[in-house]
Structure 1
Amino acid sequence: MASASHREMTVKDGLLGLSPAFSGEHAWCRDKMMISKELAGGVPLPAFFRDGGFQRAIDRYAEISGGSDRRAVVSMWSLYYFSGLSIPYLLARRLGGQALPVGFEEMTIALEDNGLPRAFGVPHAGTIESGVETEGFTAVGPLLETHLGEAVMRLKACGISAKLCWNNAAVYIDYALRLTGGEPSDGPDLPLFVRGHLPDGGVNPFCGCVSYLDEEGEQVARRKVCCLRYMLPGIPSCGKLCALPSQRNPQ
């Protein structure tokens, strides 16, 4: 791995939001991740999960969505959580060389009126890295080491499996890695999803979460575990991505 040179990143006047990568087609990320002091209604993540905020959010989303299966409600909620966290983080890291501080203990979260995650706050704009490889495991490493395990542990305590949580995170990580280039565009050889162990020897929770199949000449991404969205009224199918054949093209 190349040697790294870091310098502190500062945000100027909020013109580009938290990261210069949050521009053009990625400008929507400005509303999903920002400095915590600029996030209206933000609550520290540890307190949110510890003091009942998460349970109230799930209750609210269940009421609004009409979802009667709590596993499906929590799973759908987590999809918004993992997308709002993972995509901006990887865009900043891979397009801007910017390592955002995404440790679970130091972040905040704000919700929509329906209880779903609206945005995340980080304590500062992180560092700019020079000469750091940001492929696969290296790109995802800090997110995995400092945040995802903590989030999965708390979501699991609400009745959904850890495998479901990791798969929900994996689909957005896969999307962001492909969106930012530098990985095989068709995905089947992406080490993050095919190797059983992490670089440090630990078990890789993403192994097998996303696979790429050839269907009539088209490379199709497929989840390993269904996200249960079909149990919620009015939620569209995720199509060919779905792990369940019966739900890929519902009538």
Structure 2
Amino acid sequence: MIPALAPLFIADFQHYRGVLVLPDDPRAGVPLRTILTGDGLSDVLTRFGSAYPPSDPRGLASLWSKHYFIKLIPPVVAASLILNHRLPLHLDHLQLILDDNALPAAFKLPDPGQGWTPTPADAFERFDELLEHQLRPFIDAIARHVHLSPKVLWSNAGNYFEWLLGVLANAMPHADVRHGHQLLNARHLSDGRRNPLYQPVRYINPDGQDKPKRERRVCCIRYRVDGLDYCSNCPLS
């Protein structure tokens, strides 16, 4: 665990204590670039997919990415928004620790990072390294490998990002999470490119129900994995 992040890992967040670690963690890590090569991804998805034979490789890749994002995004985004702590996230400098089922278990960071000084002016500055040097190369590599639309993978990441903002708002009503919402509600990035995390989730009122239903805008295609059905917030269900 990174000591500076200890205040985050309480109550329901305790299980993240060992997810962001430093090079002295005794668990074996593999450079992310190695995993994202053709042979590396083939090996990981084959090992992971052994629990779901036979399955569409695109569905397996999407499902595996969801495990990756739910490990990475909550502690990284919470550290930035709640503790104003900047973590080194460049994909070329990280190692991934896999469990016995080839699922992401933890990330070895090169150093503990540091506080934001000064505080980022906007969401684009705050989350630039996460988007451009971590998520984008990760998503591009997987999308190319299994011939899957990057929109599916960005939607997986955005789904957990949006979910986390709700968790933080409920747990810490006075926390400033405006930059998180700013990022998800911006159609374009600061350089004019389309924002791939734009509004990944919508809230609808089916059949006049009082409580809105949380629904993804893009299906994660997990139904292509043998034995799995649509998610509870799938737009196709």
Fold conserved between structures, TM > 0.5: yes
Contact residue 16 and residue 30 of structure 1 kept, 8 A: no
Using the TM superposition, give the Cα deviation of residue 135 of structure 1 relative to its aligned residue in structure 2, in angstroms.
7.0
Contact residue 22 and residue 110 of structure 2 kept, 8 A: yes
Structure 2 CA distance for aligned equivalents of residues 24 and 140 of structure 1:
26
Opposite residue 214 of structure 1, the aligned amino acid is N
Match of 2:202 among 198, 206, 211: 211
Structure 1 CA distance for aligned equivalents of residues 23 and 190 of structure 2:
32
Opposite residue 232 of structure 1, the aligned amino acid is V
Structure 1 CA distance for aligned equivalents of residues 98 and 64 of structure 2:
11
Q: Percent of counterpart pairs with the same letter?
A: 28
Q: Is residue 32 of structure 1 aligned with residue 19 of structure 2?
A: yes
Structure-2 change in CA distance of 1:67 and 1:126 (3 Å): farther
Contact residue 36 and residue 120 of structure 1 kept, 8 A: no
Structure-2 change in CA distance of 1:233 and 1:51 (3 Å): closer
Q: CA RMSD in A?
A: 2.5
Secondary structure, counterpart of 1:38 in structure 2: coil
Structure-2 change in CA distance of 1:138 and 1:40 (3 Å): same
Q: Is residue 193 of structure 1 aligned with residue 164 of structure 2?
A: no
Using the TM superposition, give the Cα deviation of residue 136 of structure 1 relative to its aligned residue in structure 2, in angstroms.
4.8
Output the TM-score relative to the length of structure 1: 0.80
Aligned to 2:164: 176
Output the TM-score relative to the length of structure 2: 0.84
Structure-2 change in CA distance of 1:128 and 1:236 (3 Å): farther
Q: Which runs of 5+ in 1 are unaligned?
A: 1-13, 246-251
Using the TM superposition, give the Cα deviation of residue 134 of structure 1 relative to its aligned residue in structure 2, in angstroms.
8.4
Match of 1:151 among 119, 123, 138: 138
More strand by share: 1
Q: Is residue 162 of structure 1 aligned with residue 154 of structure 2?
A: no
Aligned length in residues? 227
Deviations 1:187-228 (A, max 9, x none): 9xx443343211232221112422222341223322121111
Aligned to 1:232: 225
Using the TM superposition, give the Cα deviation of residue 100 of structure 1 relative to its aligned residue in structure 2, in angstroms.
1.1
Q: Which runs of 5+ in 2 are unaligned?
A: 170-175
Contact residue 44 and residue 106 of structure 1 kept, 8 A: yes
Contact residue 84 and residue 119 of structure 1 kept, 8 A: yes
Secondary structure, counterpart of 1:120 in structure 2: strand
1:39-78 pair list within 5 angstroms: 40-50=27-37, 52-78=39-65
Using the TM superposition, give the Cα deviation of residue 145 of structure 1 relative to its aligned residue in structure 2, in angstroms.
2.2
